[in-house]
Every structure is written in C-alpha cells, then in structure tokens.
Amino acid sequence: MVLWRYLSRASRGWPLGLAWVKGAVPYSLFAGLISSLNIGIVKGSSESLAGRISNTELYPFILPEVANIADAKKLWIRGGFPEPFLMESKEARVDWFISFIRTYVERELPLLGLNADPIRLNRLLSMLAFNQGQILNIAKLSGALGVTIPTVKRYLDFFEQSYFLIKLPPYFVNLKKRLIKSPKVYLRDSGVLHHILGLKSFNEVLGHPVSGNSWEGFVIQQVISYYDKLFDYSYYRTQDGTECDLVISKGTKVLACIEIKLTETPKVTRSFTISLQDLKPRFSYIIIPECQEPYKLNKEVAVCSLAGFFTLFDEIKANYTD
C-alpha cells in the first residue's frame, strides 16, 4: 500500500510516496501515518496532482482482520494498533502507549500546526476519556481547562482531523420531537482510551464506570471502519431521553438501528422501542460482547456479537449499496 507522508517543513508541502505494510513499521512511523494528515499539504498535493491522487483513511485493526488470532474482547481491551495488540506484556503495552501519546501531543500536533501547551492537551485527552461517548459540551470543557470556547473547538478539530477522536453526529428526522443536536465524542482507539484511564486488564475495564461507553465506542468504530463510506453513521436521541446508540443510514433510508450493551442478558428497552417506532429501520440489533449464535428477542430485534453482526449485515448490505 502506498500512502502519502509529508516531508520536512522545508519541503514546502510536496508529498513523498511511502510503501507501508500494517504492523511492519516502527510505532512512531505508524503513529505519524494515522495522525499527520496535514490539511494544507493534502490540499497542495490535490492541486498539483489533480486526478492522480486519492486519499484513503487507514484504520487500526478491525475484528475480521484478526479473527483467527483474537476475539472481540481482546481487540477491545488492547485496541487496534498492531504493536500493542500483539504484545503479551502489559508493561510493554503501557510503555508503547506512553511513547505514542507523547509523540502525538509533543511532535505530531505541532507539525500539524497546533502549538499548544502539552500539559493542557493531555488534560483535555483525560477529560475526553472520562467522558467517552457523552454528548459534547464544549462550554464545560472550556471552563475546566481555563481556555476559551473557540480554543477548545480548535483543539477538538485537530484531534478529529488527525484521527484521534470521532464526533458521531445526531440523526435528524422530520419529527415533531425535540432532538439533541450536538455530536457524541469518542476517542477512536479503545487501547488508547484504556491507557489514559489507567486500565490494563479486562477485569479492570469491567470495573470502571466508563466500561459500557468504552464497549459502545469500540463497536461504533469497528462498524464505521468495516463499512467505511458505504453508509452514513449517527446516533438518535430526543430531549426526553429516547435514544439509539448507532443509526446506519443510506440517504434518507434508515437501514439499521443498533443498541450496544455490555451485558450477557440484553433486553429491549422502552427507549429503544420508541426509537424503532420513530425511525422505522429495516433491521434492528443489540450487539453484546459474547453471543454464540444470533437470536431474536422479538420479531424486530436480533441479538448478536460484533462478529455475528458483520455476518448478518454483510448478507443484506448488497441490497442497499450501489
């Protein structure tokens, strides 16, 4: 695979072709590849190579890529970066993530144009980790950091554009209901999230208050990574608390509503039932960590594992893609 990587700042933006195989390069180079999409350089390269350049996002590991050596729980706990995922030593993984985040904050972000106090950026990352999967409240973050709202927006934009963070937009429909219109925010890699929270093992993750939202963010990122630009992705929530964790749509058609639960005995909640009545999806699922075979809770809702969801949805996606 050939990816475009920027040269030194003296290069004035001309890209360099770099042959790269996932997992076969030092972590610092991998970190640079996924976190250094310099917008100005991409713009320059598009202008000078119009019609001859294509930008493709390279995701960390997704479950189908590692299904022969790991299950969803292992991938969830360790995250999708090749080196820490393959490390058996917890201490080695901790050292890797320390170096990765330091490189990202102190080297990559300044190269991208964000010259900010690294201590403040690390504080913001910690705040985002503890608020994983929550509706974005920029005013709250601004007050806690002691900076202006535009400054926080700028920091978040850099996190998003460098693939460290994902903003999941709300789904808007023409309903006579008051809808939440702010995005939800997730750190994209669950391994990074768990490191920032100081969680090293499966049991430590399960015992943490963020565990449910961590599993939710992991599943959402896996689904988005797997299906990529085939569909649109959002969440649904009304002012009265009716909510659906993930909405998969194509144009104006809602294809699937997904609840993501960290439990072995899921139930169809009233909130999810109302969401299905509002959105009228063609399919609806509850995704849980372990489920040997998909099964129906009622005539509308199927329960499955993440791997089971991929199998089920792969069978029907061809009918809804061009």
| CATH 3.20.20.20, domain 59-320, yes or no | no
Residue given tokens 């439990």 in the structure block: 263
What is the CA 234 to chain-centroid distance, rounded?
12
Radius of gyration of the chain, Cα coordinates, nearest whole angstrom: 20
Of residues 313 and 51, the one with the higher pLDDT is: 313
C-alpha count within 13 angstroms, C-beta hemisphere, residue 175: 17
Most distant pair of Cα atoms in the chain: their distance: 62
The whole-chain average pLDDT of the chain stands at 85
Residue-wise pLDDT tens digits, 128-150: 999 999 999 999 999 999 999 99
pLDDT of residue 269 exceeding 80: yes
Residue-wise pLDDT tens digits, 159-184: 999 999 999 999 987 666 667 789 99
Residue spans of the domains in the chain: they are 1-58, 59-320
Whether 180 and 234 have beta carbons less than 8 Å apart is answered as no
**Mean pLDDT of the 73-85 span:** 96
Of residues 182 and 239, the one with the higher pLDDT is: 182
Of residues 34 and 246, the one with the higher pLDDT is: 246
For residue 164, count CB atoms less than 10 angstroms from its CB and return exposed for 0-12, middle for 13-18, buried for 19 or more.
buried
- The pTM of this model reads 0.85
For residue 85, which of 67, 101, 103 has the smallest C-alpha distance? 67
**Mean pLDDT of the 91-104 span:** 96
C-alpha span between 104 and 88 (Å, rounded): 24
